[in-house]
Structures are given as structure tokens and as C-alpha cells.
Structure 1
Amino acid sequence: MRKIYLLALVLLFITIKGNSMEDANKTVAKNANEVCPIKISEEAPSAVLHTIEGRAINIKDVIKGEKAILIFYRGGWCPYCNLQLSELQKIENELIDLGFKIVAISMDKPEYLSATLGKYKMKYELYSDSKANASKAFGIAFTVENEYIQKLKNFNMDLEASSGETHHILPVPSVFIVDDKGIIQFEYVNPNYKIRINSKLLLEAAKIIQ
């Protein structure tokens, strides 16, 4: 009974995302509410990321043959993202014990990732998606309005400085659980960047999927 209840919760949270379409949108949405994430049961797409050292690597090679939890976040400048990463630390050992590789992906350029890694002393891997390749491929990329960019600058948060790019693209904060065949088994995509997946829910979803 408990497992059925947890699965119902998982399905409930899966639906908290943008407009759905038959095919995931691989372009850039006009805003966060219009993103079209790839679907559960689809294969994780090919996309080039960069390591902290600046080396290019395909996300398929990062997760090849492994169960993985992919966490897309906006950047180290985002307080909600930092809170999410802090909460993730509380369950990372359990996720690793379940056999999952944890991969965190942000729009920060490689050199900015080092600060995040040092701050949280993570046991998982950080990758840069500053070109927005992965965010586009997963259907979660959107263009940030100029008004919001200026608002961030007023709080000393500079998207162009952190990403090294002028595309003004961000990912809708998302979590994808992928099996060892590269198939997406769970996803949480919420256009409201202030609401992140509860760490307990993520852990329970991982337990069901393992």
C-alpha cells in the first residue's frame, strides 16, 4: 500500500511541468511555462557538456551504462539552486548506495563550477551547460526576459558573466532519473523556479525505480 501511495505521489509531481506535446521541444521556449520536456520512457538525448576543466563530453558518455539522476539547475548565483544542492547532500549517500550516479548540470561556465564544488564538497559530478546544449535537448530551455536580467543585475547576479554567453537562456530547474539503458524513468520539471523537488520524494522515486 505504501509503495502504491508513493508511486501516486511520484506521478503527481511528474505532471508539474510546462505544456506537453507529442514530441519534446528541442528549441528554446519563449518563457518557462512553455517548455516541453522530453517524456518518460524516452531515451536521454545526446548533448555536449563541459567538465570543470573545460573538456567537452557528451552527456551520453557521462551516464553510459549507469543509473543516473540528472539535476538541471540555473547556476551557483541562484539561492534556490544552492538550497536544493544543500538538501541533496542529505540524501546523496543513500542515492549512491542505491546505485545511482548523481550528475548536476548548470548554465555556469566551467571555471564557476569549482566554487560550487568547493562550497558543498559534493560526492557527485558537476558539468557546465553554458552553451545550453543539454537544456535544449531535454526540452527545458527558455529565454529570459530583459526585465528579469536587469532585476538580477540589481542583486549582483550577472547571467552573462556566469555563463560566459550572451544567449540569455536558462533551464527550468529539473530532475530526471535515467536507468542503466539511458531511458528516462522519472522527471520533475517545474516552471516555478522557487519550488524544487522535495529530497524525500526524490529518494522514494529512486527506491521505486532502482
Structure 2
Amino acid sequence: MKSTRLRFLSILAVATLGLATSAFAGDMAQSDHAMAMMPMKQLGVGDHVPAVTVLDEASRPHDLAALVREKPTVLIFYRGGWCPYCNMHLAALVGIEDELRAAGYQLLAVSADQPMKLRETPDRGKIHYQLFSDQEMKAADALGISFEVKPDDVRMFKEKYQIDLEAASGRTHHKLPHPAVYVVDTSGTIRFAHVNPDYKHRLEPQKIVAAAKDAAMMTTAKM
């Protein structure tokens, strides 16, 4: 019953937020698409999660590589709490958190938001998995999934949508991560990777669950 209710709430959140994203997406698409075409060296299956520092909501530092070694991990990268598509995805992940936990996984989500902004994430009270700040963008840079928003677009976000990227991250680098999903084993090895420069398209929650279960089966088979 709880799982069914969570899935319903996730679907409802997606439907509600979806009504408000079309104009926002239209203005942002051209800029993000152009930046997405820039070549970058991305880490993928078989690579290791980098040893970089991320911060929790209380600004406490954590080694990302150490975090994923605590238990099998589904590691999410999203742009920030100001992004409606990210918030839809975070809400949808609530619906699979119990299923991932039952499969032995922890769910971690990382964004460019500074720690204090993590607490302002919409519906934060309904999100039980951990959120981390990569405000220096060291994790996204190391994974090869970062890009820099052009100055004209930084101004447009602020003037038209009241989205202040500098206030969000607390930094002036104007960098964001491409949305990404990684399934990582306890050795820190990436067993599944999905990175899509088109921020409007996110990996479906059940596909994340399937990838996590497949990775767990492969790990068990090798033991």
C-alpha cells in the first residue's frame, strides 16, 4: 500500500510540474544543446567514482568515493532545486526508494546547489534519500559531465525566470552537471552509466531499478 501511494504521489508530482515547464524548456533548450555538443571525457562502466569532496545539507564534507563504498549505490546527478525537470525526477525517485533499498542499494543525489539550497528543494520533506552539494563542481568535472552556461543565458535565467545560478551554487563558475544516473558497486566501480545532455529527458525510475538489479546479479555471479 505504501509503495502504491508513493508511486501515485510521484506520478502526480510529475504531471503537475509538467504543466509549468514548456516555456522554460523552450528558452533553455538551444543553449544547453549547444553546450552539450562540446566533447568531454566521461567516466563510464568499469571506471571508478572519483575521490572528491561533496557536502551534505549541514555543510559537512564527505568523500564521494567513500560514500559509494558503504553499500551498492544508485548515484544521481541533477542540475539544482531551481530546475522543474530535476524536481520531477527527484519526486519520481521517491517512488522507487523502497524497492532500491530492498535490493540492497542506497540512493544518493548530487547537484550544483550549495548546502543551504538543498534544504529548500521542493517537497524536501518527502525525499528521504540523501542530497549532496557539489557546489565546486569537482565531482561533475571528474566524471566528465559538467558544462558552463553562457553569460547571456545566465542573465536570461535571472531576468526572465528569477533563477540566479550564482545564488544557487554560491559560486560564479556558472557550471552545471548534465543529468546522470550511475549504478556503483562497493568497490566504487561504475556498473551502469546513463548521461543525457538533454535535460528534459531523464531515465525512467523503473529502468533505474532494472539496471540496479542487473548490476547486483552480475556482481553476485562473479563472487
TM-score, length of structure 2 as denominator length: 0.78
**Matched residue, 2:24:** none
Equivalent of residue 91 in structure 1, options 96, 103, 120 = 96
Structure label with greater radius of gyration: 2
**Matched residue, 1:132:** 137
**Matched residue, 2:211:** 205
Q: Is the 8 A contact 1:65 1:181 kept in 2?
A: no
1:54 aligns with 2:34: no
Show structure 1 runs of 5+ residues with no match: 1-29
Q: Secondary structure of the equivalent of 2:86?
A: helix
User: Partners of 1:74 and 1:39 in 2: how far apart?
Assistant: 19
Instruction: Give the count of matched residue pairs.
Output: 181
1:74 aligns with 2:79: yes
Q: Secondary structure of the equivalent of 1:176?
A: strand
CA apart distance, 1:119 = 2.8
User: Partners of 1:157 and 1:120 in 2: how far apart?
Assistant: 22
Show structure 2 runs of 5+ residues with no match: 1-33, 217-223
CA apart distance, 1:206 = 1.1
- Indicate the RMSD between aligned Cα atoms, in angstroms: 1.4
**Matched residue, 1:151:** 156
Partner AA of 2:64 in structure 1: I
**Matched residue, 1:114:** 119
**Matched residue, 1:31:** 35
Q: Is the 8 A contact 2:181 2:193 kept in 1?
A: yes
Partner AA of 2:178 in structure 1: V
Partner AA of 1:36 in structure 2: K
User: Partners of 2:104 and 2:45 in 1: how far apart?
Assistant: 20
- Residue by residue, what CA displacement relative to the aligned partner does 1:82-113 show, whole Å, maximum 9, x if unpaired? 00001111111101111111110010000011
User: Partners of 2:53 and 2:122 in 1: how far apart?
Assistant: 20
Whose RCO is larger (CA < 8 A, sep 6+)?
1
